[in-house]
Structure 1
Amino acid sequence: MDELGDACGPAVPSPLTDPARLTSLRQVMTGAAPDEAFDRFASLVKRMLGVPVALVSLVDDLRQFFPGQIGLPEPWAGRRETPLSHSFCQHVVDEGVPKVFPDARIYAQVRDNLAIPELSVVAYAGMPLTDADGRTLGSLCAIDTKPRAWTKDELAILTDLAEACASELRLRIARAVADEARRHAESAQAQLAMLAELTEAFARTLDIDAGMRLLASGVVPRLADWSVVTLAGEDGAVRQVAGAHHDPARKADVDRLTELMAARLEPMSLQRSGATVRDGSQPLLTDPEMRELADRLGTASYVVAPVTTPVGQRVLGSITLVNGPGRPAFTEADERTALDIARRAGLTIDNTRLYRKQRHVAEVLQHSLLTELPKIPGVELSARYLPAQDGAAVGGDWYDAFAQPDGSIMLAVGDVTGHDIEAAAAMGQLRNLVRGDAYARDDEPARLLSRLDLAMRGLNMGTAATAVLARVSRAGAGFAVAFSNAGHPPPLLLRPDGTVEVWWERPELLLGLVPRPGRTTHHRTIPAGSTLVLYTDGLVERPGQVIDEGIAELAQTLREGAGLSGDDLCDLLAGGGVRRPDDIALLLIRVL
Structure 2
Amino acid sequence: MSERPPGADRPPATAIPALDDPGRLRSLADTGLDAAPDEAFERFARLVGDLLDVPVALVSLVTDTRQFFPGAVGLPEPWAGRRETPLTHSFCQHVVDLETPMVLPDARLHPRVRQNLAIAELGVIAYAGIPLTDLDGRVLGSLCAVDSKPRAWTAAQLRTLADLAAACSSELRLRIALDGAEEARRRAEEAHDRLELLAGLSETLSRTLDVDTAVSRLADAMVPLLADWALVTLVDRARQPRRATGVHRDPTHAAGVVRFAELMTTRLGPHSVTRTVLRTGQPVLGGAATVADLKRATDDPEMVALAERLGFASHLTVPVPAPGGAGVMGSITLINGTGRRPFDDSDLRTAVEIGRRAGQAVGNSWMYGEQRHVAEVLQHSMLPSLPESPMVELAARYQPVADRVEVGGDWYDAFVQPDGDLMVAIGDVAGHDIEAAATMGQVRNLVRGDAFGRTDPVHEQMSRLDAAISGLRIPAAVTATLARLGPTADGLAVSWCNAGHPPPLVVTAGGAVRTLGGPREPLLGLSRPSPRTSRQSSLAVGDTLLLYTDGLVERRDRPIDETLAELVDLLADTARLPLAELCDLLLGSPQRREDDVALLAVRAR
The TM-score normalised by the length of structure 2 is 0.70
- Report what 1:280 is aligned to: 290
- Report what 1:522 is aligned to: 534
CA distance in 1, matches of 2:144, 2:314: 46
CA distance in 2, matches of 1:193, 1:30: 34
Q: Does 1:292 align with 2:320?
A: no
Structure of higher CA gyration radius? 1
1:305 to 297, 317, 323: 317
CA distance in 1, matches of 2:406, 2:492: 36
Instruction: Map 1:356-375 onto structure 2 (within 5 A).
Output: 356-375=369-388
Give the residue type in structure 1 aligned to 2:281. Answer: G
Q: Does 1:37 align with 2:49?
A: no
Instruction: Map 1:28-427 onto structure 2 (within 5 A).
Output: 28=31, 30-31=33-34, 33-45=36-48, 47-48=50-51, 56-58=59-61, 67-68=70-71, 86-87=91-92, 90=95, 94=99, 114=113, 119-121=124-126, 126=130, 129-132=132-135, 137-138=140-141, 140=143, 150=155, 161-181=164-184, 206=210, 208=212, 223=227, 231-240=234-243, 258=262, 262=266, 268-275=275-282, 276=284, 278=286, 279-280=289-290, 283-285=293-295, 290-297=299-306, 299=308, 301=313, 303=315, 305=317, 308-311=320-323, 312=325, 314-318=327-331, 330-332=342-344, 350-376=363-389, 378-392=391-405, 394-404=407-417, 409-427=422-440
SS in 2 for 1:517: coil
Gaps of 5+ in 2: 1-15
Cα displacement (A) at 1:414: 1.2
Q: Is the 8 A contact 2:506 2:513 kept in 1?
A: yes
CA distance in 2, matches of 1:309, 1:586: 42
CA distance in 1, matches of 2:582, 2:19: 87
CA distance in 2, matches of 1:113, 1:287: 48
Structure 2 CA distance for partners of 1:480 and 1:33, relative to 1, 3 Å = closer
- Report what 2:500 is aligned to: 487
CA distance in 1, matches of 2:41, 2:485: 103
User: Deviations for 1:412-442, whole angstroms, at most 9, x for unmatched residues?
Assistant: 2112234454533332232233334444666
Q: How many residues align?
A: 564
Cα displacement (A) at 1:501: 3.9
- Report what 1:9 is aligned to: none
CA distance in 2, matches of 1:563, 1:116: 96
Cα displacement (A) at 1:303: 3.5
- Worse overlay, 172-181 or 134-143: 134-143
SS in 1 for 2:373: helix
CA distance in 2, matches of 1:22, 1:181: 19
SS in 2 for 1:414: strand
Q: Is the 8 A contact 2:505 2:545 kept in 1?
A: yes
- Worse overlay, 301-310 or 73-82: 73-82
- Report what 1:5 is aligned to: none
SS in 1 for 2:99: helix
Give the residue type in structure 2 aligned to 1:27. Answer: D
Cα displacement (A) at 1:489: 1.4
Structure 2 CA distance for partners of 1:272 and 1:509, relative to 1, 3 Å = same
CA distance in 1, matches of 2:285, 2:45: 50
Cα displacement (A) at 1:265: 5.7
Q: Is the 8 A contact 1:485 1:508 kept in 2?
A: yes
SS in 1 for 2:593: coil
CA distance in 1, matches of 2:192, 2:508: 65
SS in 2 for 1:526: strand
Q: Is the 8 A contact 1:379 1:590 kept in 2?
A: yes
Cα displacement (A) at 1:483: 3.2
Cα displacement (A) at 1:236: 3.8
Cα displacement (A) at 1:363: 1.6
Structure 2 CA distance for partners of 1:121 and 1:63, relative to 1, 3 Å = farther
Structure 2 CA distance for partners of 1:562 and 1:90, relative to 1, 3 Å = closer
Cα displacement (A) at 1:44: 3.0
SS in 2 for 1:27: helix
